[in-house]
Amino acid sequence: MSTLVYRLAFFLSLFGMFTFGAIDMTRGVAAPLMQSGWHLSYLQLGYLFTINSLGYLLGSFIAGWILDRFGISACSKAGALLSSMGLIGVLQSPNYELAMVSFAFVGTGTGVLEIGVNGIVPLISREPSDNSRRFNTLHGFYGVGCVIFPVLAAWLMHRSGNWQSGYWLTSALMVTLFLATLFFPYRKVAPSKESPVKNTLKVTKQHSPWRSPVFFGFATALTVYVMIESGLASWLPTYMVHVHRTTLHVGSLYLTGFYFLFTCGRLSGQFWVHRLGEYRSIYLAGSLLLLSLLVTVCFPSTTVLLMVAGAGCSVIFPTVVAIASHAFPRNVGTVLGILFTAAGIGSLAINTIIGFLATELGLQKAFWIFPLLVAFVLLSVLATHLLDNRRRTAIEMAIRDTADYPI
């Protein structure tokens, strides 16, 4: 029975990540039609997306506390409810002011829900390899939504002549997810008896993430990594159009290629990350990402490598999250909340940084920041790896001492 419940829980999480990808891509595709429908300036449109991002930061920050204090059920239900209310509110908003409120609800709800969706994985994983395998698959489904929905949403909006058709579909997905959270038996989702979580609770209680340089190493690496992923996703079409003089259609194809290889990498990660090793997988993917970006900025004729960068981005985020959640089993909610908040800060910061550099130096030179950021991520992960090895050795010694002298 528990195996079936675990499978259903993971399927629900996959559906949630797919829905997040659908929402993010639909928002981008619908933006021009929203702008004309509500008669917005570019600045006002930017405010809508900014309030959505700030809501996400708030939601992911408080969700860690909700998860640790009230459990996975409350976190998932609250997030799905707020997201559903926000998406329906966007559909029904007659003016800009109500749309701002609705986007704030969407951002806050998805921030809370994403912690609930990711929080399922440590609960149903029996060992670290299960953790990394499931996290890579889970985040791969975000990429599936990102690949499918730009085309699907654009087709729906073209057929209907309005942006609401795309949002009706994403609203239906989120309401379905909310109804599923109402009826799912979360109380039956608990760590397995074989899980290392149960075996290390006593010895890890003094290893709080707030006191651990390992945790802050993970947070730093993820913040900078998300600056790379989000910056490339936001600026790649513009880079191709203004630097390489391609059409917008060709620029969009580069972005689609980036996300296609990104998704393939994440979905395939379940088969090789645990075999190669989590840290080695990060080093391999990071090296591919660094090489592809460095060659591209040095030799402009090799722009096809910008799509290959998607493969380099694929497994870094979910693998770091998997390592961190297993490293602090008593504080999974807090760990996920802070890591995803840090990621959101990185996503917000990079657009301002690229905009400033492009204004001062030109967009071509601004793209030099990406290989520099990748190098920083690799160095951060290496330093954290060394610290994590020392932390694990200390825990193993404590476990042996506990076995010799039971508490």
| Residue 376, domain member (yes or no) | yes
Same domain, 208 and 84: no
Do 315 and 273 contact (CB within 8 A), yes or no?
yes
- Please tell me the distance from the alpha carbon of residue 399 to that of residue 182, in angstroms, as a whole number: 39
> Based on the number of CB atoms within 10 Å of its own CB, is 122 exposed (0-12), middle (13-18) or buried (19 or more)?
buried
- Please tell me the distance from the alpha carbon of residue 229 to that of residue 224, in angstroms, as a whole number: 9
- Please tell me the distance from the alpha carbon of residue 58 to that of residue 65, in angstroms, as a whole number: 12
pTM of the model: 0.80
CATH code (residue 249): 1.20.1250.20
- Please tell me the distance from the alpha carbon of residue 344 to that of residue 341, in angstroms, as a whole number: 5
Same domain, 99 and 248: no
Please give the pLDDT value at position 77: 96
Same domain, 204 and 185: no
- What is the tens place of the pLDDT at every residue in 160-209? 888 899 899 999 999 999 999 999 999 888 554 444 444 444 444 445 67
Same domain, 248 and 167: no
Count of CB atoms situated within 10 Å of the CB of 300: 10
- Please tell me the distance from the alpha carbon of residue 31 to that of residue 103, in angstroms, as a whole number: 13
| Residue 194, domain member (yes or no) | no
Whole-number mean pLDDT of the chain? Answer: 87
Please give the pLDDT value at position 190: 58
Do 17 and 145 contact (CB within 8 A), yes or no?
yes
Do 204 and 295 contact (CB within 8 A), yes or no?
no
- pLDDT at 399 > cutoff 80: no
Same domain, 380 and 266: yes
Please give the residue range of the domain that contains residue 28: 1-127+139-189
* 227: amino acid identity, one letter: M
Q: What are phi and psi of 398, to 5 degrees?
A: -65, -35
- pLDDT at 63 > cutoff 70: yes
Measured torsion, CA atoms of residues 322, 324, 326, 328, in degrees rounded to the nearest 10: -160
In the chain, the number of structural domains is 2
* 391: amino acid identity, one letter: R
pLDDT top residue among 130 and 12: 12
Same domain, 68 and 123: yes
CA distances from residue 42 to 162, 171, 255, 349 in whole angstroms, order as listed: 19, 25, 22, 19
Least Cα distance to 28 among 44, 49, 51, 43 occurs for 49
Please give the pLDDT value at position 204: 46
Same domain, 159 and 270: no
DSSP codes of every residue in 332-366: HHHHHHHHHHHHHHHHHHHHHHHHHHHHHH-HHHH
Confidence of residue 45 (pLDDT cuts 50, 70, 90): confident
